Structure 1
Amino acid sequence: MTEHTSSDPQPAGVAARAAALRLLEAVLRRGLPLESALDNATRGLDRADDRALAHALAAEVLRRLTDLDALIDSATAKPLPTDAKARFVLRIALAQALQLGTPPHAAISTVLPLVDGGPRRLVHGVFGALMRKGVRLPDQPTLPDGVALRWHGAWGDAMLAAAESAIAAPPPLDLTLRDAGSIWVDTLGGESLAPGHVRLPAGARVTELPGFAEGGWWVQDISASLPARLIGQGKGRALDLCAAPGGKTMQLAAAGWTVTAVDMAEPRLKRVRDNLKRTKLEATLVTGDALTFADDPYDAVLLDAPCSATGIFRRHPDVLYRARPRAIAGLAEQQRAMLARAASLVKPSGVLVYSVCSLEPEEGERNAAAFLESHGGFVADPVSADELPAGIAPDGVGQVRVLPGVLADKGGADGFFVARFRRK
Structure 2
Amino acid sequence: MTMKTSSPKVAGLDPRRVALALLDAVTIEKRLLSEVLTKKTAVLAFDDRARAQRLATECLRFMDRCDRMLGPYLSTLPAPHVMNALRLGVYEMCAAGEASHGVVNAYVSLVKENATAAHFKGLVNAVLRKVSGEVAKWETLPAPMMPKWLRKPLIADFGKATVAAMEVAQAKGAPLDLSAKANVAAVASATHGTVLPTGSVRVEGAVQVTKLAGFDAGDWWVQDAAAALPARVLAAQVGEHVLDMCAAPGGKTMQIAATGADVTALDISEIRMRRVSENLARCGLSAQVVVGDALEYEGGPFDAILLDAPCTATGTIRRHPDLPYAKDGSDFPSLFELQEHMIDRALALLKPGGRLVYCTCSLLIDEGEEQVRDALARHAGLTVDLEALQIEGVDPEWIGPEGLRTRPDFWADRGGMDGFFITVFRHT
Stretches of structure 2 lacking an aligned partner (at least 5 in a row): 113-117
Residues 1:172 and 1:401: Cα distance change in structure 2 (over 3 Å): same
- Counterpart residue identity of residue 265, structure 2: A
SS of match in other structure, 1:234: coil
1:233-272 paired onto structure 2 within 5 Å: 233-235=236-238, 236-272=240-276
| 1:316 aligned residue | 320
Whether the 8 Å contact between 1:73 and 1:80 is mirrored in structure 2 is no
| 2:84 aligned residue | 88
- Counterpart residue identity of residue 283, structure 1: A
Stretches of structure 1 lacking an aligned partner (at least 5 in a row): 1-5
- Counterpart residue identity of residue 189, structure 2: D
Cα distance in 1 for residues equivalent to 2:184 and 2:41: 40
RMSD of aligned alpha carbons: 1.9
Residues 1:383 and 1:398: Cα distance change in structure 2 (over 3 Å): farther
Residues 1:390 and 1:146: Cα distance change in structure 2 (over 3 Å): same
* Deviation string, structure 1 residues 360-386 (Cα, Å, up to 9, x no partner): 111111001111111114211114564
| 2:115 aligned residue | none
* Deviation string, structure 1 residues 75-95 (Cα, Å, up to 9, x no partner): 1343324x2x22111111111
Q: Aligned-pair distance for 1:164?
A: 1.6
* Deviation string, structure 1 residues 210-236 (Cα, Å, up to 9, x no partner): 111110000000110011001114121
* Deviation string, structure 1 residues 29-79 (Cα, Å, up to 9, x no partner): 1111111210121121122x2222111111111111122123223113433
Cα distance in 2 for residues equivalent to 1:92 and 1:52: 15
Q: Aligned-pair distance for 1:147?
A: 2.1
Sequence identity percentage? 38
| 1:3 aligned residue | none
- Number of residue pairs matched? 416
Cα distance in 2 for residues equivalent to 1:209 and 1:145: 39
| 1:204 aligned residue | 207
| 2:378 aligned residue | 374
Moved more, 70-79 or 124-133: 70-79
Choose from 394, 399, 406 the match for 2:403: 399
Cα distance in 2 for residues equivalent to 1:165 and 1:392: 23
| 1:177 aligned residue | 180
- Counterpart residue identity of residue 99, structure 1: A
| 2:131 aligned residue | 130
| 1:72 aligned residue | 70
Cα distance in 2 for residues equivalent to 1:230 and 1:411: 22
SS of match in other structure, 1:351: strand
- Counterpart residue identity of residue 356, structure 1: T
SS of match in other structure, 1:242: coil
Residues 1:196 and 1:135: Cα distance change in structure 2 (over 3 Å): closer
- Counterpart residue identity of residue 250, structure 1: M
1:331-346 paired onto structure 2 within 5 Å: 331-346=335-350
- Counterpart residue identity of residue 12, structure 1: A
Choose from 278, 282, 301 the match for 1:278: 282
- Counterpart residue identity of residue 54, structure 2: A
SS of match in other structure, 1:271: helix
- Counterpart residue identity of residue 39, structure 1: T
- Counterpart residue identity of residue 120, structure 1: K
Q: Aligned-pair distance for 1:195?
A: 5.5
Residues 1:176 and 1:351: Cα distance change in structure 2 (over 3 Å): same
Moved more, 245-254 or 121-130: 121-130
Whether the 8 Å contact between 1:385 and 1:393 is mirrored in structure 2 is no
Give me the TM-score of the superposition, normalised by structure 2.
0.92
Whether the 8 Å contact between 2:226 and 2:419 is mirrored in structure 1 is yes
Cα distance in 2 for residues equivalent to 1:392 and 1:172: 24
Whether the 8 Å contact between 1:234 and 1:257 is mirrored in structure 2 is yes
Choose from 60, 65, 70 the match for 2:58: 60
| 1:415 aligned residue | 419
| 1:214 aligned residue | 217
- Counterpart residue identity of residue 127, structure 2: V
Whether the 8 Å contact between 1:159 and 1:403 is mirrored in structure 2 is no
Whether the 8 Å contact between 1:391 and 1:406 is mirrored in structure 2 is no
Cα distance in 2 for residues equivalent to 1:274 and 1:60: 30
Cα distance in 1 for residues equivalent to 2:315 and 2:387: 20
Residues 1:335 and 1:398: Cα distance change in structure 2 (over 3 Å): closer
| 2:97 aligned residue | 101
Whether the 8 Å contact between 2:358 and 2:423 is mirrored in structure 1 is yes
1:181-192 paired onto structure 2 within 5 Å: 181=184, 183-192=186-195
- Counterpart residue identity of residue 90, structure 2: L
Give me the TM-score of the superposition, normalised by structure 1.
0.93
Cα distance in 2 for residues equivalent to 1:401 and 1:226: 11
| 1:39 aligned residue | 38
- Counterpart residue identity of residue 68, structure 2: A
Cα distance in 1 for residues equivalent to 2:6 and 2:285: 57
| 2:109 aligned residue | 113
Cα distance in 2 for residues equivalent to 1:277 and 1:103: 47
- Counterpart residue identity of residue 102, structure 2: A
Whether the 8 Å contact between 2:389 and 2:423 is mirrored in structure 1 is no
Q: Aligned-pair distance for 1:19?
A: 1.1
Whether the 8 Å contact between 2:176 and 2:203 is mirrored in structure 1 is yes
Q: Aligned-pair distance for 1:122?
A: 1.6
| 1:51 aligned residue | 49
| 1:353 aligned residue | 357
SS of match in other structure, 1:422: strand
- Counterpart residue identity of residue 97, structure 2: G
| 1:19 aligned residue | 18
- Counterpart residue identity of residue 94, structure 1: V
* Deviation string, structure 1 residues 335-357 (Cα, Å, up to 9, x no partner): 00011111111111111010000
